Structure 1
Amino acid sequence: MSLHDHFNTSVKFNARLLQEFYDSYDEELEIELDDLRLEAGASPATTAEKQWRREYFRELLRLQGELVKLQEWVQRTGYRLIILFEGRDAAGKGGVIKRITQRLNPRVCRVAALPAPSDREKTQWYFQRYISHLPAAGEMVLFDRSWYNRAGVERVMGFCTDKELEEFYRSVPEFEKMLSRSGIKIIKYWFSITDEEQEIRFLSRINDPLKQWKLSPMDLESRRLWEDYTQAKEDMLERTHFPEAPWWVVQGVDKKKARLNCIRHLLTQIPYESVELPTVTLPAREHKPDYIRTQVPPHMIIPEHY
């Protein structure tokens, strides 16, 4: 490779790394970051890029409006819903979960992201620690990783034995079919990204002080063991895909498209309808002539720096 070609490759790589930085923040910040990028003289977005960006935000808001309708229907009907999000590290699961829950009531739609099992939990029935997080009537639970840790990270990192893995594969269809028979809807998503895309996202985290906390030694090890994770994923999808709880694969290289596609697909999997809500009337404030307001002491008020 010539010096010129190497330079061009480096420029393109750095530009892609910078784009990953911009894409990783919330919608409100993304707008401001784009403005700052233009003011700083960075490569301006093309007309097509700007148009797509507008379409993305418009469609995201529309889909979030549908999610609010879904929430009202779930609450009114007593529907019980589980959504599992699995995928490689930095595949974009957290970004989709954030957009789904962004405008929903956390009492209706909650996220379960369990830490590594404690010493006591390691001695329990494998599925036991997940039971308390299952939805009651009128609830949606989003699992940011789930019991499928056994088929992925635990298998690859050697945290379970071959016997325990095979027992998991025997038990998980029975477990999920039992949940389905009890009236719980299960939707399972696998977020797929390329080797190159994961590398970009990991480098972005390494070089961004606001995101370095996302990187753990386990994440770095998963990068080294890419092919082992690939084999584990292929086995998992083959052995745990069945009608009561099928797997759905989300192409996650383009984060924005992945978010829209996943949310849109989710909405098609549930027979929700618009729910007529009661009219809300703001009551008039009562005024009590004998009430005298007590002033807050100045020393209790925080300084107004902004």
Structure 2
Amino acid sequence: MLLNGNDDLMRRLSDDLMDGYDEELEMEIEDRGLDDGADPQAAAQRKEARRVYFRELFRLQAELVKLQDWVVSTGHKLVVVFEGRDAAGKGGVIKRITQRLNPRVCRVVALPAPNDRERTQWYFQRYVTHLPAGGEIVLFDRSWYNRAGVERVMGFCDDEQLESFFRTVPEFEKMLVHSGIQLVKYWFSISDEEQEARFLGRIHDPLKQWKLSPMDLESRRRWELYTKAKEEMLARTNIPESPWWVVPADDKKTARLNCIHHLLSLIPYHEVERPGITLPERIRHEGYRRHQVPGEIYVPQIY
């Protein structure tokens, strides 16, 4: 075991479990005494850290709403790529970014493995169809960089295909940028020890076991190969038009805040004034009568 002692492991697993709750529910439950019996000073410090986290998260999410309005108003096109090892926290930050946004404006693309037809296409073709039009934000939960990572390490592409990818991806991304798309690329970086803890958390949490695939488990065994693949990927695809940004992600909450704050800093958005909204009076007709809805089609009131 890489972890030092069962207490440390249990703390990590507990933190990971609590992180799965929605923010408001998490704060409410934890503040009602889940730290009872723990060291009072440590419990107070953790509670204060949570308050700071939520305060900053809600503030940043309010800025994301302003960004969304600006994107729609200006017709800006934004693509954000999230890459990293399994369990690095990509999904967590994507969830917090989209949580308060309009899904018609900001959408997530998480493509499965290519089918037989897609394998015969130009490699980037299936990603191109998901690129944004004016006034849209697209978040890629993994992207065309699968070729430099999982496909390379698991042997799903040969050396010639890999080398072709490295030669063409800078040109592909330059084309996107020159077409008016702002492209931002994040690599979420976690330690060997932290990934082990998160995998164990998924194994022992029935609500998260679906996140573990045989491929994820095999990626754990091939940690060093993934490291080499990541290092070459960053070195060969870090171009001025679309540089890589590395997010230290051993602490999930600070990683989320840092990533969202940084993303906002890259975009010259400003608050767009909205017209005032007045709720109209409902039109009432003297002869209108509601028809009775059959009781058997109502959802049972269990709660």
The answer to whether the superposition gives a TM-score over 0.5 is yes
**Aligned 1:113-192 pairs, distance under 5 A:** 113-192=110-189
Letter in 1 for 2:79: I
Counterpart of 2:88 in structure 1 is 91
Which of 210, 215, 218 is equivalent to 2:215? 218
Quote the offset at 1:299 in angstroms: 1.4
User: Percent same amino acid at aligned positions?
Assistant: 68
Once the 2 structures are TM-superposed, how far is the Cα of residue 42 of structure 1 from its aligned partner?
A: 5.6
How many residues get paired? Answer: 299
- In the alignment, structure 1 segments of 5+ residues that lack a partner are 1-7
Aligned-residue CA RMSD in angstroms? 1.4
Which ranges in structure 2 are unaligned for 5 or more consecutive residues? none
One-letter code aligned to 2:269: Y
Aligned partner of 2:263: which letter? L
In structure 2, give the amino acid aligned to 1:264.
H
1:80 corresponding residue in structure 2:
77
Contact 2:76–2:136 under 8 Å retained in 1? yes
Distance in 2, Cα, partners of 1:192 & 1:274: 32
User: Which TM-score applies when normalising by structure 2?
Assistant: 0.95
Change (3 A) 1:91 1:286: same
> Displacement, 1:273?
1.0
Residues 56-108 of structure 1: CA distance to partner in whole angstroms, max 9, x if unpaired? 10110000000000000000000000000000000000000000000000000
CA distance in 2, matches of 1:294, 1:32: 41
Q: Does the residue aligned with 1:116 lie in a helix, a strand or coil?
A: coil
Instruction: Indicate conservation of the 8 Å contact 1:22/1:33, yes or no.
Output: no
CA-CA distance at 1:39 after TM superposition: 7.2
Within the candidate set 104, 109, 112, 2:109 is matched to: 112
Q: 1:87·1:191 contact (CA, 8 Å) conserved in 2?
A: yes
Flag the 1:171–1:209 CA change in 2: closer, same or farther, 3 A. same
Instruction: Identify the match of residue 281 of structure 2 among 253, 262, 284.
Output: 284
Misfit runs of 4+, over 4 Å:
39-45
Aligned match of 1:10 in 6, 10, 34?
Answer: 6
Q: Give 3-state SS (helix, strand or coil) of 1:276's partner.
A: coil
Deviation at 1:41, TM superposition (A): 4.4
Change (3 A) 1:203 1:36: farther
Q: Distance in 1 between matches of 2:219 and 2:6?
A: 25
The separation in 1 between residues aligned to 2:111 and 2:29, in whole angstroms, is 32
Q: Of residues 37, 51, 55 in structure 2, which corresponds to 1:54? A: 51
Q: Secondary structure at the match of 1:120?
A: helix
Name which of 210, 216, 227 aligns with 1:230. Answer: 227
